[in-house]
Amino acid sequence: MDMQEMKRIFSSNEGIVLTFIFTLIFIITNLIMVDFAGVQELIIGQDQTPFFILILIVILAYLFKNSKVEMNQTRFLFITVWSLYVLSIFISMVVNRDFVWTEGFVLVMLSVMFCFRLPRELLTIIVISALISLPALLLQPHVLNETGATFVLIYTAGLMFLPRSNKAMLYYGLPAFALLLVMTHSRTAIAVFVVVTVIQLIYINLYQKSGRDRRRFFIVLAAVLLGVIIAFIRPIYNFFIGGSITSDGTDLNQLTSGRFEPWMHVVDNMSWFGEGRDYIDFTSLLHVHNIFFDTLGRYGLITTLLFTVLLIGALIIALRSVRTFHIALYIFTFILIGMTEYNYLFMFVYFSPVILLFAIVSYMIETADINYFKHLHPFR
């Protein structure tokens, strides 16, 4: 997106108002997440559902005014799987006598949103608002994993606006990495940040570059990564591995910072329809730190399978063209962080990244027509 288009979006009254609304909501939910000045006490049950409903009302109002329902093959396929996913959640909630009407309302609103063509202008406003809201994370009284996960996902979304140049990446990536180290000690967030940054560098140095430039880039990248590993091998090992690997074997619970035991509890007690919101003792846990195990424990095998199909399917479709590369990168980042750090819906943490996921996927449905991609080389 060029500067002229950005100026057009944010110079209109509608663009300014929407940016203000989204930014305000994202700032509030960020402050709730970091519990600034004890604000979490205002949120009963640590529930972010009212914020979901509010922001989806804003999105749907914009879509009703500025867009229309369109159905290509990709949208039809996605909505079919999504509808089965939502239906399986409803069945699980009924079976477990744990039906939450507000959560059901959110899922219905999302289903309506996916039927509309989501304009690029709206996606731009949501991403920019999320970026503007990030400084609120610095107000945390303690270093949190949640802030690191949120920061990395918003950072990844911001890459879609970045010029395809190493200089732009340098100015964007280095300050972001410094801020990340200040706000979190999360191994997942730091590792995923590095992976995403390297992938972005590979992308901009392969896109419309000559073979000579590509070879030169890979030589430099390999030298830098090897140099960093050699120079910092001990602190890197201690930070990511620590004492979890010994001569007696690998302590998976220590390696995963206590996550492995609740994961195995979910696996040992899995069922077709899950066990509802209380599928595990949450006295000392907000969630089980895994989007798939969280879905498995609460909703069961069927919902987890459909959820996996939705995520992996969206990732594969987005990878089919360079036009949707950054959408694929965001979904990939969401999955990576979700493996050890992330919960999916209906809790007060990680608000803006989930909204971004739905907006990005909805936008991808419009731009990624399966028939169109059949005639494209994946990296052309």
Mean pLDDT throughout 158-162?
91
Give 366's pLDDT tier (boundaries 50, 70, 90): confident
- CA gap 116, 112 in Å, rounded: 7
Quick one: 322 exposed, middle or buried, by C-beta within 10 A (0-12, 13-18, 19+)? middle
Q: Would you put residue 246 in left (φ > 0), alpha (ψ -120 to 50) or beta?
A: beta
Task: Check residue 295 and give its pLDDT.
Answer: 92
pLDDT tens for each residue of 252-263:
777 777 788 888
pLDDT above 70 covers a percentage of the chain that reads 88
Cα dihedral 114/291/188/204 (nearest 10): -30
Angle, CA of 22, 3 and 59, to the nearest 5°: 25
Give 121's pLDDT tier (boundaries 50, 70, 90): very high
The amino acid occupying position 175 is P
Q: DSSP state, 208?
A: T
DSSP string, 136-167: GGGG-SS--HHHHHHHHHHHHHHGGGS-SSHH
Q: What is the pTM of this model?
A: 0.89
pLDDT tens for each residue of 37-83:
666 666 655 567 788 899 999 999 999 999 988 788 888 899 999 99
Alpha helices, DSSP H, located in the chain = 3-11, 13-34, 49-66, 73-95, 101-115, 120-133, 145-158, 166-183, 187-206, 211-231, 233-240, 252-255, 260-268, 291-299, 301-318, 325-338, 351-367, 370-373
Task: Check residue 95 and give its pLDDT.
Answer: 94
pLDDT above 90 covers a percentage of the chain that reads 43
pLDDT tens for each residue of 311-329:
999 999 888 888 889 999 9
pLDDT tens for each residue of 253-291:
777 777 888 888 889 988 999 888 888 877 667 678 889
